[in-house]
């Protein structure tokens, strides 16, 4: 069995906790109930509990021996604002809220590691269990760092895990360098001159301008970015108009931009602004780009990524660990912790994306059979990092 044998005693309780959190999902910075469960369980198992960092965030701490070395293990606790379509008994009981990204599983895996490490204390040093709020767009990880996470709880390195549907249970993956992208948002507001749709020549049409902007933006990844680099511009919303026979005065376009390198990010923002303003001017109208930088790219530190892969291989077997997995254009606010401390992010297999069981899908569910793998990984990571010399 590729897991720590003692964990068998905790599995039923952990599965129950995971499903209870799944049934009671909470949006970023509102994770009061989830944080209560985490705090109560940590205290019950003899872990020192610190509450109130980034509002609903929690840090649990255990120490053993004389070593000053410390490791941080991080999980996220929040859900998504979407309606769950699953019918199983532990489906969401909160309308319009759902654990569709598996943060219920992440929180539970970290709890399991805390339980095991608090009971066995087979290490020399300090383990900080970081339960962060608001990963889904709220930047709870950034807020925790800004509120002094690593000053109050110094860590030599910090690690996190995210489940990956479509990747078999018992498999893990990581890489040195960029793992997840920078996630930026933008709004384009076009101000044209509308009127009767039968007489378009008397004004300027924000739809024609907007359509041209949407198409031209795609030339940035295709013709401005080095083909070896990665960049994505996706439109997520377009709002304008109210009648079949009226050309409106304005159009609102919004979306997301993904990149890995700072130079690429700068270039994307600059070229988008030029295209938006230039295209509108071409048609005698005006348009402005509001570009807002979100999470920085998640960049794993090479030594920590290699160390985490070694531990994963110990749990899962070398053939089940991808040490140089392809990066993803998704984003993660664990990136803020990796800017402050060395560390690495791991992906843990969630099994086939059965029945639309993909992240942010209304039929997603965290796979409980991955719990022992993740718990063993977190636990062994701490034991190896803090090995008595
Ligand atoms: Zn997510
Ligand atoms: Zn997530």
How far apart are alpha carbons 285 and 211 in whole angstroms?
A: 14
Cα–Cα dist 8/370, whole Å: 13
What residues pair up with 258 in beta bridges, in sequence order?
183, 232
pTM for this prediction = 0.94
- Smallest-distance ligand from the CA of 366: 2
User: From CA 377, how far away is CA 14, in angstroms rounded?
Assistant: 15
Distance 268 CA to ligand 2 centre (A): 25
**In the chain, what is the straight-line distance between the N-terminal and C-terminal CA atoms, in Å?**
28
- Compute, in angstroms, the gap from residue 103 CA to the centroid of ligand 2: 6
Which bound ligand lies closest to the C-alpha atom of 183?
1
Question: Which residues does 347 contact at the CB level (< 8 Å), separation at least 6?
Answer: 161, 162, 163, 164, 167, 172, 173, 174, 325
Q: Is the pLDDT of residue 104 over 50?
A: yes
- Expressed in angstroms and rounded, the spacing between residue 214 Cα and the centre of ligand 1 is 26
Quickly tell me which residue has 């940035």 as its tokens.
220
Mean pLDDT rounded to a whole number for the chain:
96
Instruction: Tell me which DSSP letter residue 355 carries.
Output: G
Question: Measured between alpha carbons, how far is residue 222 from residues 182, 183, 228, 330 in Å?
Answer: 19, 19, 11, 20
The DSSP 8-state label assigned to residue 204 in this structure reads: B
Ligand 2 geometric centre to CA of 334 (Å):
10
Q: Are 71 and 382 in contact (CB under 8 A)?
A: yes
Question: Which residues sit with Cβ closer than 5 angstroms to ligand 2, an ion?
Answer: 101
Give the model confidence (pLDDT) of 185-236 as tens digits: 999 999 999 999 999 999 999 999 999 999 999 999 999 999 999 999 999 9
pLDDT digit string (tens) for 55-100?
999 999 999 999 999 999 999 999 999 999 999 999 999 999 999 9
How far is the centre of ligand 1, averaged over its atoms, from the C-alpha of 249 (Å)?
A: 36
Tell me the pLDDT band of 1, cut-offs 50, 70 and 90. Answer: very low
Question: Residue 73 C-alpha to ligand 2 middle, in angstroms?
Answer: 16
pLDDT in tens, 304-325: 999 999 999 999 999 999 999 9
State how beta strands 286-295 and 182-191 pair.
antiparallel
CA 285 to ligand 2 centroid distance, Å = 40
Among the bound ligands, the one closest to the CA of 98? 1
Distances 37 to 59, 108, 315 between C-alpha atoms, Å = 13, 10, 28
The bound ligand whose nearest atom lies closest to the alpha carbon of 334 is 2
């Amino acid at each position: 069995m590729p897991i720590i044998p003692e964990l068998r005693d905790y599995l039923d309780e952990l599965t129950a906790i995971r499903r209870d959190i799944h049934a009671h999902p909470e949006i970023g910075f509102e994770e009061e109930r989830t944080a209560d469960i985490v705090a109560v369980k940590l205290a019950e198992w003899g872990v020192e509990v610190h509450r109130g960092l980034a509002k609903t965030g929690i840090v649990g701490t255990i120490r053993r021996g004389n070593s000053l070395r410390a490791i941080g293990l991080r999980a996220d606790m929040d859900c998504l604002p979407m309606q769950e379509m699953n019918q199983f008994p532990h489906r969401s009981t909160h309308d319009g809220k759902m654990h569709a990204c598996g943060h219920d599983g992440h929180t539970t895996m970290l709890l399991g590691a805390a339980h095991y490490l608090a009971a066995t204390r087979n290490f020399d040093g300090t383990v900080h269990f970081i339960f962060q709020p608001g990963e889904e767009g709220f930047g709870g990880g950034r807020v925790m760092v800004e509120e002094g996470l690593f000053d109050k709880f110094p860590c030599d390195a910090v690690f996190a895990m995210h489940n990956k549907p479509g990747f078999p249970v018992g498999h893990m993956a990581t890489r040195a360098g960029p793992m997840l992208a920078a996630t930026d948002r933008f709004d384009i507001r076009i101000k044209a001159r509308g009127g009767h749709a039968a007489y378009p020549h008397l004004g300027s049409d924000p739809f024609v301008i907007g359509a041209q902007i949407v198409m031209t933006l795609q030339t940035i990844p295709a013709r401005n970015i080095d083909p070896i680099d990665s960049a994505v511009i996706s439109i997520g919303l377009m709002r304008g108009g109210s009648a079949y026979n009226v050309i409106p005065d304005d159009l609102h376009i919004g979306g997301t931009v993904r990149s890995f390198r700072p130079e690429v990010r700068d270039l994307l923002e600059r070229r988008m602004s030029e295209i938006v303003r230039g295209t509108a001017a071409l048609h005698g109208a005006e348009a402005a780009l509001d570009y807002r930088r979100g999470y920085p790219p998640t960049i794993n530190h090479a030594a920590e990524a290699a160390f985490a892969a070694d531990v994963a291989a110990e749990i899962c077997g070398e053939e089940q660990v991808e040490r140089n997995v392809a990066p993803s254009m998704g984003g993660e606010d664990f990136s803020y912790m990796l800017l402050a401390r060395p560390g690495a992010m791991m992906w843990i297999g969630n099994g086939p994306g059965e029945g639309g069981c993909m992240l942010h899908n209304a039929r997603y569910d965290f796979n409980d059979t991955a719990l022992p793998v993740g718990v063993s990984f977190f636990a062994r990571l701490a034991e190896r990092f803090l090995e008595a010399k």
